Amino acid sequence: MTDILIRNARITARGAEPCDVAIAGGRIAAIGPHLPGGGTEIDAAGGLLSPSFVELHCHLDATLTAGTPRPNRSGTLWEGIALWAEIKPALTEESVYARARKTLLWMLSHGVTHVRTHVDVCDPSLVALRALLRLREDLRGTLDLQLVAFPQEGIYAFADGEALMREAIALGVDCIGGIPHFEMTREDGVRSVEWVLAQAREHGRLVDIHCDETDDDQSRFVEVMAAQTLRQGLSGKVTASHLTASHGYNGAYAGKLIGYMARAGLHVVTNPLDNSVLQGRFDGYPTRRGHARIKEMLQAGLNVACGHDSVMDPWYPMGDGDPLKAAFVLMHYAQIVGADERPWLFRMLTDMPAAAFGLSDHAVAIGAPADLILWDVPTEDEALRRLPPRRAIFRNGVLVAEREGVGMRVLGEALDVSPPG
Is 369 in contact with 116 (CB distance < 8 Å)? no
H/E segment holding residue 399: strand 398-404
End-to-end CA distance of the chain: 47
Asked if omega into 69 is within 30° of 0 (cis), the reply is yes
Is 8 in contact with 45 (CB distance < 8 Å)? yes
Closest C-alpha among 352, 412, 401 to residue 372? 401
Strand partners, 40: 4
Active site (annotated) includes residue 213: yes
H/E segment holding residue 352: helix 351-357
Phi, psi (degrees; rounded to nearest 5) at 116: -105, 125
Interatomic CA distance for residues 298 and 357, integer angstroms: 18
HSE-CB at 340 with a 13 A cutoff on CA atoms is 3
Number of helical (H) and strand (E) elements in the chain, helices listed first: 13, 18
- Strand 49-51 relative to strand 372-374: parallel, antiparallel, unpaired? antiparallel
Catalytic residue (one of 153, 194, 213, 380):
213
Asked if omega into 180 is within 30° of 0 (cis), the reply is no
206: amino acid identity, one letter: L
For 16, counting Cβ atoms within 10 Å of its Cβ (0-12 exposed, 13-18 middle, 19+ buried), the class is: exposed
Q: Which residues are catalytic?
A: 213
